[in-house]
Amino acid sequence: MCGIFAYTGKNGKDAGGVLLDGLLSLEYRGYDSAGIYTPESGSIKTPGAVAELRKKMPASFTGKSGIAHLRWATHGEPTEKNAHPHASGDGEIWVVHNGIIENFKELKAKLVVQGHTFLSDSDTEVLPHLVEEHLKKTKDFEKAALMALNEVRGTYGIALQYKGEPDKIIAARMGSPIVLGLGDGEHFIASDPSPILPHTKKVVFLEDGEVAIITPDGHSITKLDATKVNRIATEIDWNAEEAQKGGYEHFMLKEIMEGPDVIENTLRGRLIAEKGMVKLGGLESVATELAQIERIIIVACGSAHIAGLIGEYMLEEFAGIPVEVEHASEFRYRSPVLNQRTALIAISQSGETLDTLEAVREGKRRGALTLGIVNAVGSTIARETDAGVYNHAGPEVSVASTKALISELAALVLLTIFLGRQRLPGQGGMSEKTAKEIALALKELPNKVQHILDTKQKIEKIAKKYAGVRDFIFIGRKYNYPVAFEGALKLKEISYIHAEGYGAGEMKHGPIAMIDEHFPTFAIVPQDSVYEKNVSNIHEIKARKGPVIALATEGDTEIGKLVNDVLFVPSTLEMLAPILNIVPLQLFAYYFAKEKGLNVDRPRNLAKSVTVE
């Protein structure tokens, strides 16, 4: 969730400038405080974003190596004293850390007895003190770091630097991502590849329980027991420019506008529409096992969980397989019943969501076949699942997930066709005729999404009209029941107002009590199999004087007579409608928050990659 970046080189580059630029590209991960350290210039820390750190940094701040950090607070408020990097008592050992040290209280108590004094409220501060204590005995930085890490319990991505050996930086990973960047005469450590890409595309991903050492001339990796690890480097196939705004005011708007390309990229090379077939190379190794599964469990968090709920409708109706969708954050605290005929599908944009990763590990322990639908190539979930499907959505920077959700839904449609065609129609599977119909409609979606995007000015006008309200409810049925959750989630996370998603049929069982002339409803009411029921629910709301915005199918001439405002989307198959319907809801939330003058890309209290529980 926080952002780590470290650099060491011999090419004459100023480490201060390299680290500061790297932090800017990590700013979506966490942003309540920032800090930087070089052995030559010491440390600078500040509450706030990287811009505040830049203001505070003197022109004389320089160095050949260093570590830097963006923090999203867990232990201790976002103040200067709690910002990273943290130092040992003698000021020789410095550390940046993402994660939580679960046994920090007992370690801190022991260190206090040994004479150490702590300056912050952060759990992280025990780490440099612990290394300092071991360094007194071993006089070897690498051994001292290993000894300290073997005492630590919890999750961490760490970069450690010792003033006595300034060119050397040690990284370690346990549950929080760490990637090494391998350059010519320079090496890097980061939470993800984005700050590395301007310098090199050659990276190595650490696994849990591994420790890496970088110097300007090379790198090495060991396990916590000092056993050597050999790993081939990976070439990242996207560049830093892809993560820039491209002329848009916000990343969120840019990423919504990329929707048509995202769908095409997710489908490219996979959809054989004329045969009603799907080729998913990432699933070929487990195709036999998939043909025999009797049950699917989808685990995810946030918008990815909403994608799973929509996927549940798809998979049950067209592949004939029972599906359960679980909040990954709760899954492993139950005692789930799994076996070899169960497939556990983890959905995660970053591929690093800790709750989802732990759900995958629990599934593996219980014998399930594990699959991943992830966007980040080389991420932990992608590596630890038995097989999977990459979204190919490209980097998503804005904290609120938009294009990644669209790509997840497109991937779930592909998976539905793939699994459905594995089974005979009489066994709940999918006929060739049905598969062709879905495949051809799927190919039309990029143009239909573009058509919606071309109407964004109308969406903006309606969003501005309602931007002063404090409450909103979103309703839908069947495939659009989860879409209502997504509409509410987007609105609440970037505009901070009270918003709820509900099944339209549930309104009369409680929520309708809230409705009055000041409490608007956003009704998702396409012309589908539950259209009439949705209209009945809108009548119930209007009878209580509730304002209603309708999201309806183009050509529906009646809905405008009933509601206050209406937005139209093109017609498509019922199972594909959520992919279209989500787009205007994302734009509505964007323009709503923008009208309120809020930071759309970096909403308060949230971060992009949630790597803590």
Q: What is the full DSSP assignment across 138-171?
A: H--HHHHHHHHHTT--EEEEEEEEETTSTT-EEE
What pLDDT, on a 0 to 100 scale, did the predictor assign at position 238? 66
Beta-sheet strands, E only, within 279-436? 295-300, 323-327, 342-348, 369-374, 387-390
Domain with CATH 3.60.20.10 in the chain: 3-243
Integer Cα distance of 173 and 354 in angstroms: 13
DSSP assignment of 280-294 equals: -GGGGGGHHHHHH--
Q: In the 8-state DSSP scheme, what is residue 569?
A: E
In the chain, how long is the greatest CA-to-CA distance? Answer: 81
Query: Which residues are paired to 67 by β-bridges?
Result: 6, 37
Classified as helix, coil or strand, 607 is: coil
Q: How many CB atoms lie within 10 A of CB 468?
A: 10
Integer Cα distance of 518 and 398 in angstroms: 31
Q: At which residue do the structure tokens 């346990």 appear?
A: 174
State which amino acid sits at residue 180: L
Integer Cα distance of 339 and 365 in angstroms: 10
Query: Which residues are paired to 271 by β-bridges?
Result: 278
Report in angstroms the alpha-carbon separations of 198 from 98, 169, 178, 182: 23, 20, 17, 12
Cα Rg, the chain, nearest whole Å: 25
What pLDDT, on a 0 to 100 scale, did the predictor assign at position 155? 81
Superfamily of domain 3-243: Aminohydrolase, N-terminal nucleophile (Ntn) domain (3.60.20.10)
Buried b / exposed e along 435-462 (16+ C-beta atoms within 10 A): bbebbebbeebbebbebbbeebeebbeb
Tokens of 450: 């573009």
Superfamily of domain 456-595: Glucose-6-phosphate isomerase like protein; domain 1 (3.40.50.10490)
Polymer length of the chain: 613
Domain with CATH 3.40.50.10490 in the chain: 251-453, 456-595
Tokens of 159: 């970069």
Integer Cα distance of 499 and 487 in angstroms: 9
List average pLDDT for each run of 10 residues in the chain, which is 613 residues long. Answer: 88 92 74 87 87 87 92 69 90 91 90 93 92 95 96 91 96 90 96 88 92 97 95 79 68 92 89 90 92 94 95 95 94 85 93 90 94 86 92 83 95 96 80 94 96 96 95 95 96 94 86 88 94 92 92 94 96 97 97 94 70 50
| Contact residues for 344 (Cβ-Cβ < 8 A; gap 6+) | 296, 297, 298, 299, 338, 359, 360, 363, 368, 369, 370, 371
Integer Cα distance of 231 and 220 in angstroms: 9
**Out of 45, 108, 403, 608, which one is annotated catalytic?**
608
Per DSSP bridges, beta strands 369-374 and 342-348 are parallel
- CA-wise closest residue to 306 among 563, 524, 507: 524
Integer Cα distance of 385 and 284 in angstroms: 14
**Out of 2, 448, 478, 490, which one is annotated catalytic?**
2
Domain 251-453 has CATH 3.40.50.720: no
Classified as helix, coil or strand, 188 is: strand
Integer Cα distance of 26 and 397 in angstroms: 9
Contact 29, 72 (CB under 8 A): yes
SS3 content of the chain, % helix, strand, coil (to 5): 40, 25, 35
Buried b / exposed e along 12-38 (16+ C-beta atoms within 10 A): ebbbbebbbbbbbbbbbbbbbbbbbbb
Integer Cα distance of 460 and 407 in angstroms: 24
**Known catalytic membership, residue 10:** no
Q: How buried is residue 180: exposed, middle or buried, by Cβ count under 10 Å (0-12/13-18/19+)?
A: buried
**Known catalytic membership, residue 301:** no
| Contact residues for 536 (Cβ-Cβ < 8 A; gap 6+) | none
Q: How many CB atoms lie within 10 A of CB 366?
A: 16
Element (H, E) at 181: strand 179-182
Integer Cα distance of 168 and 185 in angstroms: 13
Question: What pTM was estimated for this model as a whole?
Answer: 0.73
Contact 145, 160 (CB under 8 A): yes
Tokens of 304: 């990815």
Q: How buried is residue 119: exposed, middle or buried, by Cβ count under 10 Å (0-12/13-18/19+)?
A: exposed
- CA-wise closest residue to 84 among 10, 2, 154: 2
